[in-house]
Amino acid sequence: MNEQEFRKEVAAWMATHLVGRFACLKHRGGPGDEEAYPALRKEWEQEMASGGWVGLGWPKEHGGRDLPLALQLAFHEEYVRAGGPGRMGHIGETLTAPTLIALGTPEQQRRFLPGIREGREYWAQGYSEPGAGSDLAAISTRCWQDEDGRWRLQGQKVWTSLAHESDWIFVIARSTPGSVGREGLSFLLVPLDQPGIEIHPIRQLTGEAEFNSVFFDGAVTEADCIVGQPGEGWKVAMALLGFERGVSTLGQQMHFSHELQLLLEVARANGAAQDPAIRQRIADAWIGLQGLRYNGLRMLEDDTGSTKVRPEALIYKYAWSNWHRDLGQLAMDVIGVAGDVRSDEDAVRRLQQVFFFSRSDTIYAGTNEIQLNIISERGLGMPRG
């Protein structure tokens, strides 16, 4: 399929569907703004599903469209360009589904993929724990099988995005008593709406609560809700992280570009655009975004058959999160004292969210420090401590 035509098709669909009752969703939602219209954004997911825009990269036999990476990226870019709201279904679509497609049983695929594709079932990710952050293998949540084969869970997960809006959670838990580290873990699919589970919101420094603690107290799930064999949980968990080859992450560059445009508008309007030091920093922000963009395009390079490390992929998380954090600081320096007040002006409100929320960017999904360890060890062959 021709990329330009595909882009036009996406843009045309967005122009005729992100209207009416959905119009208020433009540029809303996503990290830092998850409390905006969650119910309506779920309806929007169903609208998107009916347009055939969910599961673009999934194989056709699982209801996807099997589009190449370049077109998936084109979709994300056009989606954001049109103001498409932050996706409620992205954990299911980009993490749960590829994992089930690769490692799930046919029954699991039949049971779960349609709900994700049709925007009916929402997923949360149960990896981190209070004692297992950067050291993810230090998991202490336990799971075991009852006599009837059903799985039970005991423990606590934390930083669970949107758990309060989700129906299911995938969890890694310790199934072999006394095991340590990566051994003895299992990967379970667990329904959230049950007496054995309590979800407590975590109020973040912005005052909002997009993350949660999820407490499992004898929570239960069916015997066949395990992906892989008991004890293979670490392997499945890592495979899941590998499926996210950054296509939706690349789409986020359009969000960044939108944020930078807002910053330029504010700077022009309030006179900060005249300050020579601010001008230098604004130019640097634009340059940095170009760096992310070309780095992203390099990630799409064809390297079929090569087993070489992809340096551009390895550095990407560190690069974008630090760029974004700097953008937030620059935005507040542009806004000046007016930044002290929670703004109702769209541009300023969004930039304030960037400033505060981006402090988490360099912490979640591998802190800066963990990223630098990984880059030096995998990218440069530096020896492990």
Q: Among residues 340 and 369, whose Cβ is nearest to another protein?
A: 369
Beta-strand ranges (E) seen in the chain are 123-126, 142-145, 151-158, 168-174, 185-191, 197-202, 211-221, 226-227
Residues 162-221 that bind another protein (CB under 8 A): none
Q: How far apart are CA 78 and CA 98, in angstroms?
A: 23
Q: 209 or 315: whose CB is closer to another protein? A: 315
* Number of residues located near another protein, criterion CB under 8 A: 43
Q: Please pick, from the candidates 50, 140, 229, 290, the single residue that binds another protein as defined by CB under 8 A.
A: 290
Label residue 276 exposed, middle or buried (CB < 10 Å: 0-12, 13-18, 19+). Answer: exposed
In terms of C-beta density within 10 A (0-12 exposed, 13-18 middle, 19 or more buried), how is residue 159 classed?
buried
Nearest distance in Å: CB 33, another protein: 25
The piece of 45-53, 60-68, 223-231, 289-297 that touches another protein (CB under 8 A) is 289-297
**Conformational region of residue 207, where left means phi above 0, alpha means psi within -120 to 50, and beta covers everything else:** left
Rule CB under 8 A: say whether 365 interacts with another protein: no
Tell me the three state secondary structure of residue 57. Answer: coil
Is 298 one of the binding residues for another protein (CB under 8 A)? yes
CB-nearer residue toward another protein: 161 or 373: 373
Judged by DSSP in three states, 124 sits in strand
Contact (CB, 8 A) for 18 and 40: no
- CB 220, CB 148: distance < 8 Å: no
From the list 232, 244, 312, 345, the catalytic residue is 244
**Residue 180 tokens, joined:** 């340590």
Q: Does 375 bind another protein (CB under 8 A)?
A: yes
Find the part of the chain contacting another protein (CB under 8 A) among 5-13, 78-86, 267-275, 347-355.
267-275
Which is closer to another protein, CB of 232 or CB of 312? 312
d(CA 289, CA 256): 8
For position 383 contacting another protein by CB under 8 A, the verdict is yes
**At residue 125, what is the residue type?**
Q
For this structure, is 77 an active site residue?
A: no
Which residue stretch of 100-108, 126-134, 174-182, 371-379 sits at the interface with another protein (rule: CB under 8 A)?
Answer: 371-379
Q: Is 268 in the site for another protein (CB under 8 A)?
A: yes
**Contact between 309 and another protein (CB under 8 A)?**
no
Q: Is 69 an interacting residue with respect to another protein (CB under 8 A)?
A: no
Smallest distance, Å, CB 254 to another protein? 16
Q: How many whole angstroms separate alpha carbon 338 and alpha carbon 381?
A: 48
Q: Which is nearer to another protein, 21 or 298 (CB)?
A: 298
List the Cα angle 348/350/353 in 5-degree steps: 110
The residue ranges that bind another protein (CB under 8 A) are 264, 267-268, 273, 276, 279-280, 282-284, 286-288, 290-295, 297-298, 300-302, 311-312, 315, 318-319, 369, 371-373, 375-377, 379-385
As annotated, the active-site residues are: 244
